[in-house]
Amino acid sequence: MHLRTDGDLHPVFCTIVPPHVLDHLSRSADARLADPARRTLAADGLRRDRRRATALAAVPTTPGVGAVPTKPHRTLYDCGNGTTLPGRKVRDEGDKPTSDASVNRAYAGLGATFELLLSAYGRSSIDGKGLPLIGSVHYGEEYNNAFFDGEQMVFGDGDGEIFLDFTVAVDVIAHELAHGLTQHTANLRYEGQSGALNESVSDVFGSLVKQYSLGQSAEQADWLIGAGLLAPRVSGDALRSMKAPGTAYDDDVLGKDPQPGSMADYIETEEDNGGVHLNSGIPNRAFHLLATALGGNSWERAGQIWFDVLTGGELTANADFAQFARLTVAAAGDRFGAADEREAVLKAWSEVGVPTKA
C-alpha cells in the first residue's frame, strides 16, 4: 500500500491515511507502536480493497439517472478567524494540498469518513446520494469548538491554552460529519436521551473512522474522543473515553470529566440540551463493550449493527436509550441470526443498565 502524505483520496482503491496519523507515526520514537501500526496498515490494504469492492457492488444505483457517486466531493473554506460562513474557498475536490495544515487535515478527515461509510456500509456520503461535504476552518478567534450547522462542518483554532486546532483529531472531524449522517437518517432530536444518542452515534462513528484509518482492532483502539486536542498544559488524554466514561481528563481549569458510564449515574440537567454530551457516555460504553466482546474490527459487526439501527427507518426522532437498545438487539438478530452477536448486544446494554425488554 502506498501511504500518501498529502491527505488526498487516491482514486477508487486506496486506503486513505490522514496526514496527522502519518505525522504521528513518523514522529513516534516508540518502535513498538510505530512498526506494528505500519505493518497493520500495509496488511490491511488488500483486505480493505476486497471489502470495498464488495461494498461498492451493493451501492444502490438508479438506472437512467446514473450511479451514486463513489468518490467524495469535498470543499474547504477558510473563515480567516471571522464568523461569516462558509468563508473563502481554499480547496476543492481534487485540488492539490494547500500550505494550510488545518485545511488539509479537514480535507483528509472528510475523505476518511466518506471512505468508511462507502467501504464498510455501502453508503455514498451522509445522504446516501453522494452529498458534497463542506467544511470551514479558522472559524472565530481562538475559538474552542467545532460544530455542524445543519449543512456544513465548522472548526475553530482553539485558544492554545485549553484546546488546540479542532482539525487535529480525525475522530472529531468524523464526529461532526456523523451529525450530518444522523440528520439525514434517524434525525434524532438533539435533546435529552435522543440527543445523547445523537451525540453517542457521532462518537461511535468518529472513533470507527479513526480505527479504520489506523487499521486498529477493537483491542488496539484507544476508544478516546479528541485525543491530541487538549493543550499540553491540560491534565488529560482526551475529551471523552468510550471505554471508561468519566476518566478522559481531570484538570484544575477544565475540571473532571463528568460523563457517566451507566444508567445508575445518569445526569438530569437542563444544561447542554439535557446533558447530551454527558449521558452519551452510557451508549458509548455499551458500544465499546459490544465491540470488544466481539473482537476484531469494530466497524464490521458492532458498527454494522449501529449503522443498521441508525439508517433502518425504525428508530424514532425522540427515541430513548431503551428503544435504541431494543433495535440493536433486533438488528443483530436480523443480520447475524440468533448468534453470539445478539447475545453480546444484550450483555452490553445490561452492563450499562439499559433495559432491552419492552
Partner 1 sequence: MSARAAPDRQDPMRIQVSRTGGFAGIARRHEVDTGGRADAAEWQALAEEALRSARDTPPTGVPDGFRYAITVGDRTVYCADPDLTGAQRTLISRVLKEGA
- Which residues of the chain form contacts with Zn ion (CB under 5 A)? 199, 202
Instruction: Assess 272 for contact with partner 1 (CB under 8 A).
Output: yes
- List the catalytic residue out of 20, 175, 179, 277: 277
Residue 242 binding partner 1, by CB under 8 A: no
Residue from 150, 252, 264, 358 touching partner 1 (CB under 8 A): that is 150
Compute how many other C-beta atoms are within 10 angstroms of the C-beta atom of residue 317: 12
Q: Do the Cβ atoms of 221 and 209 come closer than 8 Å?
A: no
Minimum separation from the CB atom of position 203 to Zn ion (A):
8
Instruction: Read off φ and ψ for residue 75, nearest 5 degrees.
Output: -135, 125
Shortest distance, position 256 Cβ to partner 1, whole Å: 11
- One-letter amino acid for residue 264 of the chain: A
Single residue of 163, 212, 299, 349 touching partner 1 by CB under 8 A: 163
Buried/exposed code over 128-142 (b: 16+ C-beta within 10 A; e: otherwise): bebbebbbbbbbeee
Least distance to Zn ion, CB of residue 277, Å? 7
Our finding on whether 171 is near partner 1 (CB under 8 A) is no
Quick one: which H or E segment has residue 208? Answer: helix 192-214
Of 217 and 273, which CB lies nearer to partner 1 in the complex structure? 273
Active-site residue flag, 341? no
176 is catalytic: yes
322 binds partner 1 (CB under 8 A): no
For the chain, how many helices (H) and strands (E)?
A: 10, 9
| Residue 351 to residue 342: CA distance in whole angstroms | 14
C-alpha cell at 5: 502524505
Rounded to a whole number of angstroms, the CA Rg of the chain reads 19
Residue numbers of the site for partner 1 (CB under 8 A)? 83, 85, 141, 144-150, 154, 163, 166, 172, 175-176, 179, 183, 190-191, 198-199, 202, 226, 239, 254-255, 258, 271-273, 275-278
**Which residues are annotated as catalytic?**
176, 277
